[in-house]
Structure 1
């Protein structure tokens, strides 16, 4: 999903057990992926370039 809006549309991974120990990401902002702690939604947000976040995810998925 790459629809541009002013506000991030936050979600957690489908692999999350929703136990509160998660990060949330938004993929609707062009060129950046904001990440935040799901326990503190009003807290700080880390913004990553989309390319850097994609490389991070690929590294996690690699055997």
Structure 2
């Protein structure tokens, strides 16, 4: 089973933080006023579980779930 992931188009991100607050796994953070996925320093994998809460709340439509 493949897990879907969030992909953020930082050129479209407006830095509102709605996705950060919506994510139940705390997989997103704002860096330089742009959303990005958090990366586990030990495994180098992102924390995204593909639940798509971030996608649902992004007013700029800067997030895609694939």
TM-score (norm 1): 0.26
Looking at secondary structure, tell me which structure has more strand per residue: 1
Of structures 1 and 2, the larger Rg is shown by: 1
Higher relative contact order (CA 8 A, sep 6+): 2
